[in-house]
Amino acid sequence: GVRHEPTSKIVLDLERLYDEASEDLAYVARYARAIQQQRGDYNGRVLSIRADDLRALAIVYDASPSGLIERLTEHGVLVADPRAFFAS
Ligand code: C2E
Ligand code: C2E
Ligand code: C2E
């Protein structure tokens, strides 16, 4: 079934994130690359990130965590349901 917890995992669509030319996402993209490096997770199309890291990133964007999520959603770089994402 489809769940809609407010605390659901933050999953980034890496292809979209790295293709997006927007200056607005430059720090998110840099952060995601750093996390991939730390994990040795290079081959994924998506990346799950820590709630703590979203909070830190929100500060960089002078936004609240939910404000940053809204922005990421507007840019279409969030994956709502990674399993559905791979099924499509
Ligand atoms: P660490 O924080 O000491 O975590 C060691 C290992 O525990 C991680 O190895 C991972 O296998 C597991 N782990 C820790 N937290 C989680 C979690 O919330 N979910 C899952 N599924 N596993 C978890 P890994 O992935 O090779 O990462 C190595 C180190 O790289 C981590 O050591 C941490 O210092 C850093 N790192 C990796 N990913 C992130 C991240 O998203 N944010 C931050 N701040 N650091 C990260
Ligand atoms: P899920 O969290 O809904 O993730 C679905 C699929 O999205 C994963 O399939 C994987 O292909 C991709 N994915 C999600 N986050 C990442 C990421 O940070 N890096 C990469 N490279 N791919 C990612 P997969 O691996 O077959 O996992 C299926 C399900 O198994 C996951 O569904 C999750 O429920 C569970 N799972 C897998 N790894 C972990 C883990 O480290 N921690 C926890 N708690 N659950 C995990
Ligand atoms: P997840 O693996 O399903 O973990 C869900 C939550 O369980 C994490 O949310 C965190 O609060 C807790 N948790 C899981 N494993 C550990 C651990 O080893 N140490 C601690 N202190 N807490 C743990 P969070 O932090 O928001 O992370 C969300 C998702 O981001 C994780 O879902 C996982 O997919 C990914 N992730 C976070 N940190 C790491 C990491 O270091 N390595 C890897 N490979 N994935 C990570």
CB 53 within 8 A of CB 31: yes
CA of residue 46 to ligand 2 center, whole Å:
9
Q: Please provide the CATH number assigned to the domain covering 10-79.
A: 1.10.10.1930
Which pLDDT belongs to residue 15? 94
Atom number in ligand 1 closest to CA 48:
41
Average pLDDT rounded to a whole number, residues 52-71: 96
**Protein residue with least CA distance to atom 14, ligand 3:** 50
**Would you list the DSSP string of 25-52?**
GHHHHHHHHHHHHHHT--S-SEEEE-HH
Nearest one of 30, 36, 25 to 68, comparing CA atoms:
25
Each residue's pLDDT tens digit, 31-55: 999 999 999 999 999 999 999 999 9
**Residue 3 predicted with pLDDT over 70:** no
Minimum mean pLDDT range among 2-11, 28-37, 53-62, 79-88: 2-11
pLDDT at position 20 over 90: no
Three-class secondary structure of residue 22 per DSSP:
coil
* Ligand nearest the Cα atom of residue 10: 3
